[in-house]
Amino acid sequence: IFHLFLHTRKKMGLLLLLIICQCAINSIKTQSVSKPNIILLMADDLGIGDLGCYGNRTLRTPNIDKLAEEGVTLTQHIAASPLCTPSRAAFLTGRYPIRAGMAAFSRVGVFLFSASSGGLSSEEITFSKLLKQKGYATALIGKWHLGMNCESSNDFCHHPLSHGFDYFYGLPVTNFRDCKPGQGSVFLKGVQKGLVMPVQIAGIALVSLAVAQYIGLLKVPFQALGYFLLIITISLVVLIFFFYNFRHLNCFLMRDHQIIQQPLSYENLTQRLTKEAMQFIGRNTGTPFLLVISYLHVHTALYASENFKGKSRHGLYGDAVEEMDWSVGQILDVLAKHNLSDKTLVYFTSDQGAHVEEISSTGEVHGGYNGIYKGGKSTNWEGGIRVPGLLRWPGVVQAGAYIDEPTSNMDIFPTIVKLADAQLPSNRIIDGHDLLPLLQGKVTRSKHEFLFHYCNAYLNAVRWHPGNSESVWKVFFFTPNFSPEDSNGCYDSHVCFCHGGFITQHDPPLLFDLSRDPEEKVPLTPETESRFYEILRVVHEAVENHTRSLHAVPNQLSWDNLLWKPWLQLCCSSLFQSCYCDYESGGSPLQAHLG
């Protein structure tokens, strides 16, 4: 009996030890799964067909392809908007841009100037704010494009550091052609067209008044004519000054709240951005971190360093893609070096589809490839909103898996907020859904039954994926008028617009089944689809429910918020010194200027 007692106690002890060990292992596993490091990589204007993992056979993207091999590839990953500013607002907040006032009613749907007063409101809750509250170190490297100041040149109300980022190194606006000498201008044609009529009217009015005064038909005080001429002259001088100095006023590099290079230099720019990202990782190996790398590639002006220039089979655009892929490889290598790969969720995407209308002044194609999909940036055809979606987290998400369910860039918000053990805001609608169950194979259906596609502030199309069907219906209420008519974009205006004579309204709406016609070639009709009117009825009901969920908010992209305001202008020296400095070279602004 005594020996039996000892034997039983020994077995019980071993069993207890095993239970304790298993609990410890589970605890460690839960802890690592619940608070991983998070790296979010966002390209700019990259086409889904530009990557090897999405079928490209001529551009070399081995590092981005590695994310697909070791993680999940989303094949129906949708940007919340086909334009930079609203898409990025949705990405950070998990909400349709219109909920944050980041959807324009005018033609211009993005911020163009560093001294505009609009931006992502302080009322909005970003994932960076929530993760910072949970002890994450947070950084944004690269492009921001969500506003800077509200009332003064140093209130920084829209700055990344006001939205939960501890560290910022990058561009406050975006990478324009105008930022790089010799690359042309995105404004010149529009300014010329916009000025012709007002100048003609002003000239005719001035001459008419002068003639009427001379022949005695009308007595106009000479002083009034002088004031009128002075106002016209001052307006023209300010306009000419602004666009002549556009590069200095809008294309600059910041570290936190300080301008460190004005204007921006493209020399080894990707290397500098990558180095900043790697150093941030190195500084935070012992604490959970959130790192957003928002690449300037491949928005025009295109650029590439000497190591990549002329090396691809697709000109400067291909060089830029391959340089970005190199940067992704550097980030993955530094994770491996610090044994952080298994503790880090890495996500790669683009803010919208490729800008197909981008053609250089010499005729070189500077826009990307959207694969089989129609249209591109600024449109809600699939080419404008279906973007790469790659997620890697070794040991947690499936490796080498493909998911064809509708997902959105808004889904990143609830996914990483939950992983950080933070609470989703309860005082607002979050339009994104947690992706982790889908990524781990625990569920096979997306939670997105409906996705609403806005062209600026106008509801353009709706995607419906019924729970009991493999079909993905897409309904268009209007479509852009391509120019030339038989082309795949709006080449005459450089981008497609969302209202007036730029679009064609459809009644009944156009209907496609993307599961059978992903190229959106042949609209369905009541003759070719027996459920045509039933599908439209369900979609209209969904639109009514969605519209009721919207609340009036200040329009951050109104003309008043878009226009250049001199008193908001950031300048590292002074306007008289042409806002010039280069702290990147280690000198003072004046030394750099004199040099």
What are the residue numbers of the active site?
A: 84, 145
The three-class DSSP label of residue 95 is coil
Give the three-class secondary structure for 347: strand
CA of residue 569 relative to chain centroid, distance: 23
The rounded distance, in Å, linking the Cα atoms of 516 and 523 is 11
Dihedrals φ, ψ of 472, to 5°? -125, 100
Both tokens assigned to 38: 């998070």
Amino acid code (one letter) for 129: K
Quote the DSSP letter at residue 585: G
Evaluated on CA atoms 591, 180, 387, 102, the torsion sign reads positive
Distance CA 511, CA 442 (A): 32
Scored b (16 or more CB within 10 A) or e, 140-178 reads bbbbbbbbbbbeebeebbbbbebbbbbbbbbbbbbbbbb
CB 130 within 8 A of CB 93: no
Q: List the alpha helices (DSSP H) in 349-461.
A: 382-385, 412-419, 436-439
Within 13 A of 236's CA, how many CA atoms are on the CB side? 13
Residue 405 identity: E
Q: Say if residues 472 and 463 touch (Cβ distance below 8 Å).
A: yes
Q: Residue 490 gets which letter from DSSP?
A: B
Q: How many residues does the chain have?
A: 595
| Separation between Cα atoms, residue 392 and residue 291, nearest integer Å | 15
Q: How far is CA 75 from the centre of its chain?
A: 18
Helix (H) or strand (E) holding 27: helix 2-34
Query: Taken in order 47, 51, 56, 59, is the CA torsion positive or negative?
Result: positive
Q: What φ, ψ does residue 423 adopt, rounded to 5°? A: -95, 135
**Which residue spans within 114-199 are E strands per DSSP?**
137-143, 167-171
**Distance from C-alpha of 402 to C-alpha of 164, rounded to nearest angstrom:** 33
Q: Give the residue carrying structure tokens 């999909």.
A: 373
Q: How far apart are CA 524 and CA 528, in angstroms?
A: 6
